[in-house]
Amino acid sequence: MYVLKASGEREEFDARKVRRTCIKAGAPEDLAEKIAAEVGKQVYDGISTHEILKITLRLLGRQPGAATRYSLKRAIMALGPAGFQFEKYMAEVLQNYGYATKVGQIIRGKCINHEVDIAAEKEGKKYMIECKYHNMPGIHTDVKVAMYTHARFLDLGNNFDYGWITCNTKLTQDAIKFADCVGLKVTCWGYPKKESLERLIEDKELYPVTVLQSLKSFTRERLFQAGLMLTKDLVETDIEKLRQRTGLQKGVLEKIVAEAKQVKYVE
């Protein structure tokens, strides 16, 4: 039985992947086993990974918070449609790892001025970070992005010690090969294994507010405008202060904060 991925590729269905992902999302092993078995009963040849996601999310609804964590990749894509919120989100993630960050700076290079997505600094080292954002599944960040990021870094060489690509999708093998060859740091979906985007998020529970299932678009924009990008910001801020910052009604905030607490703490 084969599954159709968002990229158009076909791969054999593996129920163990569903089980592993459910456990990673916080579901107990017995529930993960049941969900994997139930998904296995419902799949058919040519089913899309998106449809498998929908089935799994519905079944994960039995475990508070787990369905939300399972849909992390979708939630990051929901930061769009443009890439600016992803840049702000990445800056906040990096701040939680000890980096000082500035978003959207215009910096003069040897030849031209450049708008740098994120300028970061840690332990005396300065990083020029190019954020590549896609709001549709199945699109990989290719070698052209790695090449122009390196070219920009070379022009800005007097200002930075390292170039760095971050992206919310996977990187092509040629892009990885080129980045390794020229010394570009990379943080993307699934790569590098111990410091991938999802690993950085999950290790410190830096979930974007867009993981919240109950979040409406109007509420999301109000949170963004108030600089509230992370679920932990909602959990750690007093309701009255949230109301003052966002202008949202107390009842709306209480609902999303209650859901944010389920996301933050794995049961």
| Residue 87 pLDDT | 95
- CATH number assigned to the domain comprising residue 245: 1.10.150.20
pTM of the model: 0.77
The verdict on 144 and 57 lying in the same domain is no
> Coil, helix or strand for 139?
coil
The verdict on 16 and 40 lying in the same domain is yes
173 Cβ neighbours under 8 A, 6+ residues apart: none
Mean pLDDT of the chain: 88
The verdict on 19 and 51 lying in the same domain is yes
| Residue 267 pLDDT | 35
The verdict on 96 and 8 lying in the same domain is no
The verdict on 216 and 240 lying in the same domain is yes
- How many Cβ atoms are within 10 Å of 142's Cβ, its own excluded? 15
Residue 39 CA to residue 103 CA, distance in Å, equals 42
The verdict on 144 and 215 lying in the same domain is no
The verdict on 199 and 214 lying in the same domain is no
Domain boundary residue among 17, 39, 70? 70
The verdict on 100 and 14 lying in the same domain is no
In-domain check, residue 77: no
The verdict on 156 and 220 lying in the same domain is no
| Residue 25 pLDDT | 66
In-domain check, residue 55: yes
| Residue 53 pLDDT | 80
Q: Which domain holds residue 32?
A: 2-70
| Residue 139 pLDDT | 82
Reported as a single tens digit per residue, the pLDDT across 223-266 is: 999 999 999 999 999 999 999 999 999 999 999 999 888 875 44
Residue in the structure block whose two tokens are 């001025």: 113
How many domains does the chain contain in total? Answer: 3
- CATH number assigned to the domain comprising residue 133: 3.40.1350.10
Give the mean pLDDT of 164-179: 95
CA dihedral 222, 227, 232, 234 (to 10 degrees): -40
The verdict on 214 and 197 lying in the same domain is no
**Inter-CA distances, 36 with 6, 14, 39, 103, 224, Å:** 20, 9, 5, 41, 36
The verdict on 57 and 89 lying in the same domain is no
Reported as a single tens digit per residue, the pLDDT across 30-89 is: 888 888 888 888 888 888 887 888 788 778 766 656 666 667 888 898 887 777 999 999
The verdict on 64 and 28 lying in the same domain is yes
Give one DSSP letter per residue of 154-217, joined into a string.
HHTTTT-SEEEEEESSPBPHHHHHHHHHHT-EEEBTTBSGGG-HHHHHHHTT--BGGG-TT--H
In-domain check, residue 75: no
Q: Using a pLDDT cut of 90, give the percent of the chain over it.
A: 55
